[in-house]
Amino acid sequence: MNTSKPKIVVLGAGYAGLTTTKRLMQKLHPEEAEIILVNKHNYHYESTWLHEVAAGTINPNQARVMISDIVNPNRVRLIYDSVVEVKKEEQRVVLENNEITYDYLVFALGFESNDFGIKGMDEHAFAIEDIDSSRLISEHMEYQFAKYKMDENADDDSLHIMVGGAGFTGIELLGELVEKVPELCKKFDIDRSKVRIISVEAAPSILPMFDKDLVDYARKSLEDRGVEFRIGTPISECTPEGFIVGDDKELIKAGTVVWTGGVKGSSVLEKSGFELTKGKVNVDADLRLPGEENIFVLGDCSWVWDKEADRPYGPTAQLATQEADVAANNVKALLTNRPLENFVFKSKGTVASLGVTDGIGTVFDDYKLRGKSAAAMKKVVDNRSLFLVGGAKLVLKKGKIRPF
Ligand code: FAD
Ligand code: NAD
């Protein structure tokens, strides 16, 4: 490859990094720049499907796709390695097994679970962060059920499943669990009434971003299918046995404990000495790292200010994907000495699944959905995401196209 060409290095093949790479391939002639995509694994995964992998309601392979199947390796240099640190003064990225230099950098390493320093959370609770950590949760639940059957003295607590945090991820996980648990009970000949599914939430309500009628609907739907809610109950510690909650330090026991209490940007941001606000970078309106001419920070690694609401946009896949379009335009603008554009988010709405056939959502400027219509919309969103990643062929191969 001609090394005299400017080098564009994209870190992360999630929604933001992969979309930026694809747009750069479309916008730039091969002679204009060399494009390098770095990702920990040789596959991209749909982060928005990870709760299904965690519950075991889909196979992990359905949620991932080989990067070389969707990005032409003859056009983009693909490096499968872990990013350790960005040394911006030297325009260099340190990888676990190598290092690379760049002229333009797109930092899109996504999210990590945020334990907010809660004692024992990192050691004793599972978290949904990627394919491997999510698969571990479903494997652990199966193991607990299998072990229970083998051990005459086994405690019923070992069958219980507890989810800390009832935001989007926690609620979507509960929606999958209420479908998976009866399946596991059947598989292991265990009475369904022995298995508790417990949700512990500090705030006075689940899913505070939705209107009360939708929240009430979601709560009732999950309760009717066996979820026990402990709302207004802050978790102060996680032990090998379960969560410690509330002022009286009550221990709630469970054999499978999952923390879905929030996310932060990749820890590589901090290792690289970037200035952080609540675990992420506050980027300029053109998505650049403040004070840096040639570094863009996208997706769950950055906060972008929503002027209308006077707060940052919530981190979502649709935000990450839209940012990628602007980042690719702006890299091209830098290469061709044209002015950069500012990012403007166009929300298409929000849908939360409550299992395969249920959900809630707000779309098209406040039109509310609940039940099957919300579940169907969620599948449209999931399939659209696959389409953007790998076209109709990928939707036919891995899409959610079975009727329900
Ligand atoms: P990611 O998708 O996290 O991608 C980051 C990439 O970087 C990954 O490929 C990762 O392997 C790679 N990487 C990470 N660290 C390193 C490293 N050190 N070195 C090399 N590579 C690395 N949003 C919605 O809009 N709608 C939804 O329905 C929705 N559902 C969700 C469901 C769940 C269970 C979760 C957890 C999130 C959901 N979100 C949803 C939020 C959405 O998934 C994120 O906002 C989105 O993934 C952010 O995209 P990203 O490109 O910034 O990062
Ligand atoms: P979140 O911040 O949305 O929810 C975390 C929840 O945990 C909150 O309700 C919080 O009150 C609770 N919590 C925090 N500390 C606690 C404690 N000590 N004890 C008990 N409860 C505690 O985080 P998330 O659900 O991980 O979602 C992360 C991001 O991903 C969100 O911004 C969301 O927009 C996005 N997401 C979107 C979708 C979707 O659009 N369908 C699905 C999943 C995630």
Question: Is the distance from CB of 256 to CB of 243 less than 8 angstroms?
Answer: no
Q: How far apart are CA 330 and CA 265, in angstroms?
A: 22
Residue 110 beta carbon below 6 angstroms from any ligand 2 atom: no
CA distances from 81 to 100, 271, 327, 389 (A): 11, 17, 23, 21
> Residues near 377 by Cβ (< 8 Å), separated by ≥ 6?
351, 359, 361, 363, 369
Contact 83, 93 (CB under 8 A): yes
pTM reported for the whole predicted model = 0.96
As a whole number of angstroms, the distance between CA 359 and CA 379 comes to 11
Residue 265 β-bridge partners: 111
- Is there a catalytic annotation at residue 237? no
| Nearest-angstrom CA–CA distance, 42 and 315 | 24
The residue whose CA is least distant from atom 3 of ligand 2 is: 167
**Domains in the chain, CATH or no CATH each:** 7-40+81-113+263-339 (3.50.50.60), 121-259 (3.50.50.60)
Angstrom distance (rounded) from CA 284 to CA 148: 54
Per-residue pLDDT of the chain (404 residues; tens, 9 = 90+): 545 899 999 999 999 999 999 999 999 999 999 999 999 999 999 999 999 999 999 999 999 999 999 999 999 999 999 999 999 999 999 999 999 999 999 999 999 999 999 999 999 999 999 999 999 999 999 999 999 999 989 999 999 999 999 999 999 999 999 999 999 999 999 999 999 999 999 999 999 889 999 999 999 999 999 999 999 999 999 999 999 999 999 999 999 999 999 999 999 999 999 999 999 999 999 999 999 999 999 999 999 998 888 899 999 999 999 999 999 999 999 999 999 999 999 988 999 999 999 999 999 878 999 999 999 999 999 999 999 988 999 999 999 876 55
> Ligand 1 centre and the CA of 248: distance in Å?
36
Which atom in ligand 1 lies closest to the alpha carbon of residue 82?
Answer: 19
Nearest ligand to the C-alpha atom of residue 280 = 1
Residue 168 CA to ligand 1 centre (angstroms): 14
Token pair of 391, please?
């076209």
Nearest ligand to the CA of 381 is: 1
What is the layout of strands, in order, in the sheet containing 76-80? 76-80, 34-39, 7-11, 104-107, 295-297
- The residue count of the chain comes to 404
| Residue located nearest, by CA, to atom 12 of ligand 2 | 165
